[in-house]
Amino acid sequence: MAGNFRDFVPPSDHPRVQGLDQIDLQTYSTDTLSRPVPKQIVSKWGTNLDVPFSGVTTNGTRKENLFSISDEGAPLEQMFDQVTRVRDLFTSTELEKFSHEIESDNWRKWSNPEFIIYRTGMRVEDMNEEQRNSILALLEVSLSPAGYRRVLGAMQTNDFLGELCNAKAILNKYSYQFTLYGEPSLTEPWGFSVFGHHLSVNIVVVGKQMTLIDSGPDNGVRILDSVGSLPLTLMQSLSHGLQKQAQIYEDLHDEKMPDDRWNPADQRHMGGAFQDNRIIPYEGIKAQSMPQPQQYQLLELLSLYLEILPSGPYQARMKQIDQHWDETYFSWIGGYGDDDAFYYRIQSPVIMIEFDHHSGVFLLNKEPKKYHIHTILRTPNGNDYGREWIRLHRANGTE
């Protein structure tokens, strides 16, 4: 399914990678951000940050009363114990570099290019081994075993890409920023983020509830296989009429697309970095219009994305999805033959997942290939970064 990526590895003297073994990250970032295309993209992203957070919606107006405060069995005690260990390993000066208020807009500055746009925290590669291991341990207790394996897989993939392109200074296992939000507590909201190339995880806990934004390539043989092969099987098994309704564009860079539908950074993704307030209308077909076997496949696909969560929050999110199944949509861009690259989106009031096959950044494929996958998981209608839960927590005086 993935194709032979080695056919597109650039030689060491290719302009795309030449000199990357000699440059430091800050110089590389400054040089990249001075180029016209990245400069234009980042300028637009900065403009988006100037608009107060409201959340992804379908029409510019948030749906209300979708979220509530409850005990969902998040591993709060384990997370609190581990984040306390993390904090004990850093000096007060270091802590100041990566600690912010829970509602800080630094939450919104995550990104997954290899260059630094905003420094919100401390680079894991700049930490000592004990500090790095404490961050990994915090991720481990905050995620399911499958979720933690996926995070490690993304980090290892980044390291492997650095080896392929002789660019370990900017692409390695620890090329990520760690940022802490709020005062870690058993009663008050707090959270943390780990983001960089090939991985962005933003985790918020409010009581024993937790939510996350997950952006990355979904590494690991099983998950990589399943999130690509399962929806393709689903799409191929639909009736011709439903296929045509689901397929909103025939080509991945279709001439019928409006100007804002494709960009060189996110390609077909609409909910990527700095898109916290994006209006994303429902497209494609309703899940309930599918035959029952395909509905089960769609639920299985959603389960694969959400299995990054610990058991309690996972069950709560799946129950929430079921409650809004009558307003869940599935859309597709591209072909649906066995060898076709494609994009799909699953969207409801309480979840939005995007999957996209991308063209090369360091590798030389100009067209999207199946070995280069990007995925995004968001919570629409204001609960990205747990914002709606935090509002409810404060309004209700929840302890």
Which among 142, 158, 144, 239 is positioned nearest to 197, based on CA atoms? Answer: 158
Dump pLDDT digits (tens) for 105-115. Answer: 999 999 999 99
Dump pLDDT digits (tens) for 290-322. Answer: 999 999 999 999 999 999 999 999 999 999 999
Residue 163 backbone dihedrals phi, psi, to 5 degrees = -65, -45
The pTM score is 0.95
**pLDDT value at 139 more than 80:** yes
**pLDDT value at 399 more than 70:** no
Dump pLDDT digits (tens) for 25-83. Answer: 999 999 999 999 999 999 999 999 999 999 999 999 999 999 999 999 999 999 999 99
**pLDDT value at 223 more than 60:** no
Res 221: pLDDT: 39
Q: Round to whole Å and give the CA distance between 222 and 230.
A: 11
**pLDDT value at 2 more than 80:** no
Measure Cα distances from 176 to 38, 125, 165, 305 in Å: 20, 7, 18, 22
